[in-house]
C-alpha cells in the first residue's frame, strides 16, 4: 500500500477577518508525533484555511481526515467532514479537542448529531491518533482502511463501529515526558504558517491542578502538570524569532496556567532576551 495520506485541520474563518489567528500547533504536535513513529509510511498535510482544504479535498482526498474541534470551529469542521465523506466513503474522520462532552449519554448524542465522525480522541491526541494510524497501516489496500480501523476498539479513542455501535476503551492517555513529541517548529512543520497573518504559538506545559467546574480541563485525568524542557522551549523561541514576519509582534503561550511554576519566570527572561536580540516579541 502507498503511504497513508492524512490531512490535519485546525480551521479558522477568514472571509472578513481571522476568527482565530493562532498557529495550528495542536495538529502540528499530532503530525510531528505521527511522522516520528511511522516515517515514510505516512504523508501528512496541515491546514488552517478553509479554501485550501476545499481545494485539496476535491483534488486528492486523504485516507484519514483529522479535525480539531472547538466551540469556534465546530460547524466548519463538521462541514469539511461531510464533504470528505462524500469524496472518499472509504476514509476515516477523526475529531479531537475539548469541545466534547464527558458523560456517556451526551457523547452518544454527539455521535448521532455528527454522522460523519468515525472516531473521537479526547484530551491529548498524540497516542490515540497514532493508534488509529497504526490500525490503518495494517490494511492491505486503501479500500480496506475503514473496515480495518473500525472493526475493533482502539486505545485512547471512542470509535463508531461499522454497525454504528460506539466502542469505548481507556479514552484519556497522556504523555508524561512531553519532549517525546518532536517540535512542530524545529521539524519545519510550522514553516508555511509564517505567512504574516497567523500568530506564533508555543506550549510549555500541559495539565492543570485545579478543578474549576466551568472548565473542560477541570477533571482528574488532566490534574497532573507535565512540562516541556526549558531547552526545548528556548529553541522554539529562537526558531520563531528568526522566522516570524516583520508585522507580527505577539507570541501566544497556550498553557492552561502560565506563571504558576518557577521555570515560567526563566521562560519570561528568555523571551526578554529574544526581544533584545531579535526584536521579537515586541
Q: Which tens digits make up the pLDDT trace of 33-69?
A: 999 999 999 999 999 999 999 999 999 999 999 999 9
> Which residues on adjacent β-strands are paired with residue 154?
none
Whole-angstrom CA distances from 141 to 2, 248, 252 are: 8, 45, 42
How many other C-beta atoms are found inside a 10 Å radius of the C-beta of residue 57? 20
Given a cut of 80, is residue 210 above it in pLDDT? Answer: yes
Strand order in the sheet with 64-68: 42-49, 4-12, 64-68, 92-96, 119-121, 158-160, 166-168
Whole-angstrom CA distances from 16 to 13, 19, 49, 79, 247 are: 8, 9, 13, 19, 19
DSSP letter for each residue of 41-88: GEEEEEEEEHHHHHHHHHHS--SEEEEE--TTTHHHHHHHHHHHHHH-
pLDDT at 1: 75
23 contacts 198 by C-beta, under 8 angstroms = yes
Using a 10 angstrom Cβ sphere, with 0-12 exposed, 13-18 middle and 19 or more buried, the burial of residue 54 is middle
CA 229 to chain centre: 20
Share of the chain above pLDDT 70, in %: 99
Q: Which tens digits make up the pLDDT trace of 212-245?
A: 888 888 777 788 899 999 999 999 999 999 999 9
132 contacts 149 by C-beta, under 8 angstroms = yes
- Calculate the average pLDDT of the chain: 94
Overall average pLDDT of the 82-111 stretch? 95
**3-state SS class at 5:** strand
Structural domains of the chain ordered from first start: 4-168 (3.40.50.280), 199-278 (no CATH)
| Grid cell for residue 65 | 481526515
| Grid cell for residue 230 | 526549558
Amino acid at each position: 500500500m502507498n503511504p497513508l495520506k492524512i490531512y490535519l485541520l485546525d480551521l479558522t474563518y477568514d472571509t472578513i477577518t481571522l476568527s482565530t489567528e493562532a498557529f495550528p500547533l495542536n495538529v502540528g504536535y499530532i503530525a510531528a508525533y505521527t511522522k516520528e513513529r511511522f516515517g515514510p509510511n505516512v504523508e501528512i498535510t496541515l491546514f488552517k484555511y478553509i479554501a485550501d482544504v476545499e481545494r485539496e479535498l476535491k483534488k486528492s482526498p486523504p485516507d484519514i481526515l483529522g479535525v480539531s474541534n472547538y466551540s469556534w470551529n465546530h460547524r466548519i469542521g463538521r462541514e469539511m467532514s461531510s464533504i470528505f465523506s462524500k469524496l472518499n466513503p472509504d476514509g476515516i474522520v477523526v475529531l479531537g479537542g475539548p469541545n466534547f462532552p464527558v458523560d456517556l449519554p451526551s457523547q452518544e448524542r454527539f455521535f448521532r448529531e455528527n454522522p460523519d465522525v468515525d472516531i473521537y480522541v479526547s484530551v491529548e491526541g498524540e497516542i490515540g491518533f497514532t493508534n488509529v494510524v497504526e490500525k490503518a497501516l495494517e490494511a492491505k489496500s486503501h479500500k480496506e482502511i475503514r473496515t480495518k480501523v473500525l472493526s475493533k476498539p482502539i486505545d485512547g479513542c471512542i470509535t463508531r463501529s461499522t454497525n454504528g455501535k460506539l466502542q469505548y476503551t481507556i479514552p484519556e492517555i497522556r504523555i508524561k515526558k512531553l519532549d517525546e513529541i518532536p517540535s512542530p517548529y524545529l521539524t519545519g512543520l510550522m514553516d508555511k504558517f509564517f505567512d504574516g497573518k497567523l500568530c506564533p504559538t508555543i506550549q510549555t506545559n500541559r495539565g492543570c491542578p485545579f478543578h474549576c467546574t466551568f472548565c473542560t480541563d477541570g477533571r482528574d485525568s488532566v490534574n497532573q502538570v507535565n512540562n516541556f524542557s526549558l531547552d526545548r522551549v528556548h529553541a522554539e523561541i529562537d526558531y520563531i524569532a528568526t522566522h516570524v514576519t516583520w508585522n507580527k509582534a505577539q507570541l501566544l503561550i497556550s498553557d492552561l496556567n502560565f506563571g504558576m511554576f518557577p521555570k515560567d519566570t526563566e521562560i519570561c527572561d528568555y523571551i526578554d532576551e529574544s526581544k533584545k536580540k531579535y526584536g521579537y516579541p515586541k
